[in-house]
């Protein structure tokens, strides 16, 4: 291998093992699992209730027939509801994380203890003020 390809591989390894990339991968995996939960909530709980309200067996059976074409309005509305639920949960999650960061930033840091040199200089200053 040439020196250039070794540098590229080393740079890629550094990038791939950086904390942000691993955090992103974990987020994608958890997001995929949460998407399954949201789909089940919409498909198995919300849509049957909406289907009862509109008088259809299931909400996904709501279609418009335009000539030979079928427009699946129910599936589209179901996807929009999935999106709204996911967007709301992500919003709440980000808002919570931001408020935690603000609390950390708002907490005043304790002033550092003065160094030995500062203590000595303060004593010298005080002695000079007293005129000794």
Contact 49, 61 (CB under 8 A): no
Contact 42, 82 (CB under 8 A): yes
Mind listing the pLDDT tens digit for each residue in 52-95?
A: 787 766 666 778 889 999 898 888 887 888 788 888 887 888 88
Mind listing the pLDDT tens digit for each residue in 16-45?
A: 777 677 777 778 888 888 888 888 887 788
- Sign for the pseudo-dihedral over CA of 49, 54, 57, 60: negative
Report the first-to-last Cα separation within the chain, whole angstroms: 75
> Could you give the number of structural domains in the chain?
1
Question: Which CATH number characterizes residue 39's domain?
Answer: 1.10.1200.120
Q: Is-above-0.75 flag for pTM?
A: no
Domain limits for position 44 = 3-130
The contacts of residue 110 (CB under 8 Å, 6+ apart) are none
- Report the pLDDT value the prediction gives residue 59, as an integer from 0 to 100: 67
């Amino acid at each position: 291998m040439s020196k250039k390809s070794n540098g590229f591989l080393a740079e890629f390894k550094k990038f791939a093992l950086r904390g942000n990339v691993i955090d992103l991968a974990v987020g994608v995996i958890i997001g995929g699992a949460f998407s399954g939960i949201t789909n089940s909530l919409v498909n198995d709980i919300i849509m049957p209730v909406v289907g009862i309200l509109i008088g259809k067996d299931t909400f996904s059976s709501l279609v418009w027939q335009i000539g030979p074409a079928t427009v699946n309005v129910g599936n589209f509305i179901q996807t929009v509801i999935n999106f709204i639920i996911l967007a709301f949960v992500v919003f709440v999650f980000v808002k919570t994380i931001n408020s935690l960061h603000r609390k950390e930033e708002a907490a005043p840091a304790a002033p550092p203890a003065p160094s030995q040199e500062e203590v000595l200089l303060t004593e010298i200053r005080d002695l000079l003020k007293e005129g000794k």
